[in-house]
Amino acid sequence: MTISREDVLHVARLAEIGVSEHELDALVDQMNRIVGYVAQLDAAPVESDGAAFVPGPTAVAWREDVVQPEPLALPPAALAPDFRAGFFVVPQLPALVPESEHAPVDDEEEP
């Protein structure tokens, strides 16, 4: 299979990673090489109903359903880029931003 520029932009949008125009060609090339390499799994002799192996405990270790707060050394306000009155402050959703206030796109082609 071949990964196109549009495929890479679609994946970048799903992954919420901005990709600039100057990065795009190299990413398309690398993704094609890597996906071509992992596609060799097509030849692996798996059973159609083969269960997935998951390492770790064979059974869930249940605990008492009691909330036990873990004291933290730092409050959210010390870690968050913007935290006010108990809330994490973020910009508006895109749909709520007036057209005139949209930031210039400059070098980046936003996915």
Tell me which residues touch another protein (CB under 8 A). Answer: 3, 7-8, 11-12, 14-20, 27, 30-31, 33-35, 37-42, 44-47, 50-57, 60-61, 63, 70, 72-76, 78-82, 88, 90-94, 96-97, 101-103, 108, 110-111
Whole-angstrom distance between the N-terminal and C-terminal Cα of the chain?
22
CB of 62 to another protein, least distance (A): 9
CB of 71 to another protein, least distance (A): 9
Minimum distance from CB of 56 to another protein (Å)?
Answer: 4
Cβ at position 43, least distance to another protein in Å: 8
Between residues 15 and 25, which has the closer beta carbon with respect to another protein?
15
Question: Exposed, middle or buried by CB within 10 Å (0-12, 13-18, 19+), for 31?
Answer: middle
Contact partners, residue 3, CB within 8 Å, separation at least 6 = 28, 31, 32, 35
* CB distance 9 to 99 below 8 Å: no
